[in-house]
Amino acid sequence: MVNERKKKEKKMMSSEKVLQVNNLKISFRTYGGEVEAVRGVDFDLYKGETLAIVGESGCGKSVTSNAIMGLIPQPPGIIKNGSILFKEKDLTKLSKTQLRKIQGVDISMIFQDPMTALNPTLTIGEQLTEGLRTHKKIGKKEAKEKAIDMLKLVGIPNPEERLKQFPHQFSGGMRQRIVIAIALICEPQVLIADEPTTALDVTIQAQILELFEEIQLKKGISIILITHDLGVVAKIADRIAVMYAGKIVEIGDKREIFYTPEHPYTKGLLNSVPRLDLMEEELQPIDGTPPDLFSPPKGCPFTARCDYAMEVCDYAYPFSTKISETHEVDCWLQDERANVLQAQNKIG
């Protein structure tokens, strides 16, 4: 079923897959027991696209992105199953040394808080060039020129002077630009942005998002955007994956997810965000909290909070249903046997 979907997607979009995540499962051993943080996630990332992974905190989106980046500390983390394919290599099977040839070179990452992501005791220049000099074996002068180019690209004035300065001499927005420059300096194919604008002021958020779009146009990189902010998603994502309790419950094009969401959780997410075009409607928060991942439920994890829950939802996790070539959802409501019920409840 899944393979069929993937084949079709590829044909339809006729673009190259940069990264394939297959049935990834990650757990963490803690004092309280084993937490199943990611419970079987798979998706493909196409060249030049922006895939947004959205969900509440603790849904496993950051763990997934850290796994792609090779940043899961083992122990306590355990990659229990699945693969992350990049350039025909399974990143989960590589040794640390092999991984380091990919980290920062082919795949790089932007962190949430620019105030803590930069080392306070090293100059911007050192932090920009060290990855370049480690991986590309180029001289100091060349690296410096490259660094200046990068700072220009991300819109930092007086780059030559700025290279000698320390992080505390920059504002939050400027620091995030520097973090982006560091992530891009080795010209990676995949950029993972973990909540890149959450810690920033709203006006600066917009600037940073524009910078992302601009860079993507210029460099043709693929971006995985991890966020809980649907406003950010609406602005720059091409496709959206909705994660809940360690699983992707719905994935589709931006329009599909925003205009024809199928999963009750996706609908709930969209209803809990204020929208200018639907002023008269009240905001509807999703009641309840996500399940405890120490002992995840056997069935659909959203059942306890779902307005349309059926008995079957407790017994088994739903099969994937393809809505369109690009749109897929895991929900029992898609089963024809639930149609009767749906009609009764007037789902809107």
Partner 1 sequence: MAKYILKRFIMMIATILIISTLTFVLMHSIPGSPFDEERTSNPTIQANLEKFYKLDEPMHVQYLYYLKSIVTFDFGPSIKKPNESVNELLARGFPISFELGMVTILVALLSGTILGTLAALRHNGIIDYLAMTFAVVGISVPNFVLATLLIQQVAVTWELLPAATWSSPLHMILPILALATGPTAIIARLTRSSMLEVLTQDYIKMANAKGLSPIRIVIRHALRNALMPVVTIMGTMLAGILTGTFVIEKIFAIPGMGKYFVESINNRDYPVIMGSTVFYSAFLVFMLFLVDIVYGFLDPRIKLHRKEGDA
Partner 2 sequence: MTNTQNLVSPQAIKDEWFRPKQKEQGRAESVVRPSLSYWKDAWRRLRKNKLAMGGLVFLVLLMLFAIFGPIFSPYSVTATDYPSQNQAPSATHWFGTDEAGRDVFTRTWYGARISLFVGIMAALIDFFIGIIYGGVSGYKGGRTDTVMMRVVEVLYGLPHLLVVILLMVVMGASLTTIIVALTVTGWVGMARIVRGQVLQIKTYEFVTASKSFGAKTSRIIRKNLLPNTMGPIIVQMTLTVPSAIFAEAFLSFLGLGVAAPFASWGVMANDALPVILSGHWWRLFFPALFISLTMFAFNVLGDGLQDALDPKLRR
Q: Which phi and psi (to 5°) does residue 297 adopt?
A: -65, 155
Stretch that binds partner 2, among 34-42, 86-94, 169-177, 206-214 (CB under 8 A): 34-42
**DSSP classification of residue 305:** G
**Cα–Cα distance between 171 and 305 in angstroms, integer?**
41
State which of residues 50, 62, 108, 326 lies at the interface with partner 1 (CB under 8 A). Answer: 108
Q: What is the number of other CB atoms lying within 10 angstroms of the CB of residue 89?
A: 15
Residues in region 132-171 near partner 1 by CB under 8 A = 134-135, 166, 168-171
Q: Does 103 bind partner 2 (CB under 8 A)?
A: no
**Number of residues this chain uses to bind partner 1 (CB under 8 A):** 35
Q: Which is nearer to partner 1, 130 or 253 (CB)?
A: 130
Site string for partner 2, 125-164 (x = CB under 8 A): ----------------------------------------
State which of residues 103, 176, 205, 216 lies at the interface with partner 1 (CB under 8 A). Answer: 103
Q: What is the number of other CB atoms lying within 10 angstroms of the CB of residue 199?
A: 18
State which of residues 78, 308, 323, 325 lies at the interface with partner 2 (CB under 8 A). Answer: 308
> What is the DSSP code string of 328-343?
EEE-GGGSGGGHHHHH
**Cα–Cα distance between 128 and 181 in angstroms, integer?**
7
**DSSP classification of residue 180:** H
- Beta bridge partners, 250, equal 242, 329
Q: How far is the CB of 35 from partner 2 (least distance, A)?
A: 13
What SS3 class is residue 82? strand
Q: What is the number of other CB atoms lying within 10 angstroms of the CB of residue 42?
A: 18
Q: Does 53 bind partner 2 (CB under 8 A)?
A: no
Residues in region 171-190 near partner 1 by CB under 8 A = 171, 174, 179, 182-183
Stretch that binds partner 2, among 104-112, 130-138, 210-218, 311-319 (CB under 8 A): 311-319
Residue type, 44: D
Q: How far is the CB of 8 from partner 1 (least distance, A)?
A: 34
> Which residues, at least 6 apart from 241, have a Cβ–Cβ distance to it below 8 Å?
43, 51, 52, 53, 54, 248, 250, 251
Which of partner 1, partner 2, none binds 119 (CB below 5-8 Å, type-dependent)? partner 1
Q: Which is nearer to partner 2, 114 or 261 (CB)?
A: 261
Q: Does 248 bind partner 2 (CB under 8 A)?
A: yes
Q: What is the number of other CB atoms lying within 10 angstroms of the CB of residue 14?
A: 8
> Which residues, at least 6 apart from 29, have a Cβ–Cβ distance to it below 8 Å?
75, 76, 78
Q: Does 303 bind partner 2 (CB under 8 A)?
A: yes
**Number of residues this chain uses to bind partner 2 (CB under 8 A):** 44
Helix ranges (DSSP H) in 220-253: 230-236
Q: How far is the CB of 187 from partner 2 (least distance, A)?
A: 31
Q: How far is the CB of 57 from partner 2 (least distance, A)?
A: 16
Which residues contact partner 1 (rule: CB under 8 A)? 69, 71, 96, 99-105, 108-109, 111-113, 116-122, 130-131, 134-135, 166, 168-171, 174, 179, 182-183
